[in-house]
Structure formats: structure tokens, C-alpha cells
Amino acid sequence: MYEVSVKTHFSAAHHLRGYHGSCEEHHGHNWEVEVFVSGESLDKTGILVDFRDLKKAVACQLDELDHKDLNKVKAFRRQNPTSENIARYLYERLSPVLRRTGHSVSRVRVCETPTSGATYSEPDKASG
């Protein structure tokens, strides 16, 4: 199995509803995002997925989040825009886009600081 990734970032503000502490106040982060794509075979040039194409797909999704108040983004009006929820959101948005090109998102990692982040992946359907 092969796995490749691209790393990028976006800037956005948020606050955590129902949280008691400093994160309940409106604040911002420079969020770091890493998207991992996996597959069993390479194309004739030895590439799983063209990094350029993967970066473009990720950038398209991040355009909806960049320089926004995440609590006002439709997907986060009812759930907190935590690193965990943002990772799942990006995973779910990118999966069908990349599946159309024959690729599979294996996981998405979102970090709100250099030392704190969350990863989302779907459970292994074969073991469940």
C-alpha cells in the first residue's frame, strides 16, 4: 500500500460553544492541514496521485474556510469547529472528489497549533 500526503494551511477564527475556558472566547488560529491519500497501485510513471492535483483539490475545500469565522460556516453552525470536526469535515468533502479520480483519502490531520492537532479517518470496513 502506498500513501502520499500534502500539507497546507489556512487562517480562521472560531469559538467553542459550551466550553468553559479561554477557547469559549472568539479567537483565531493558523490551522495546518495534512491530507493523506492511499492506494495499491501506481500509474505508468510511478505516481499514486499527482501532488499538483491533490493540492488543488485540498485548496478548493480550504477556500470555504480560509479567513472565515468558522462558527458562521454552514457545517459548523450546530457543531463546534474543533480540530476533530474540521478534520472530519475535510475528509468527508475530499473523499468523493478524490474517489472520482480513483483515489482514496486515508486520513486528514488538522492542527490548530504546532503542538496540538487531531486526525480523522474512517474505521476499517474490513474489520468491522
Catalytic residue among 14, 29, 111, 112: 112
In degrees, rounded to 5, the angle at the alpha carbon of residue 8 between the alpha carbons of residues 123 and 14 is 80
CA distance 115 to 93: 25
- In the annotation, is 67 catalytic? yes
Catalytic residue among 9, 15, 23, 84: 23
Catalytic residue among 24, 26, 60, 67: 67
Of 6, 107, 106, nearest to 55 by C-alpha is 6
- In the annotation, is 92 catalytic? no
- In the annotation, is 122 catalytic? no
Phi, psi of 5 (to 5 degrees): -145, 160
For residue 56, give Cα distances in angstroms to 38, 39, 42, 63, 69: 17, 19, 20, 11, 23
- Give the catalytic positions in this structure: 23, 67, 112
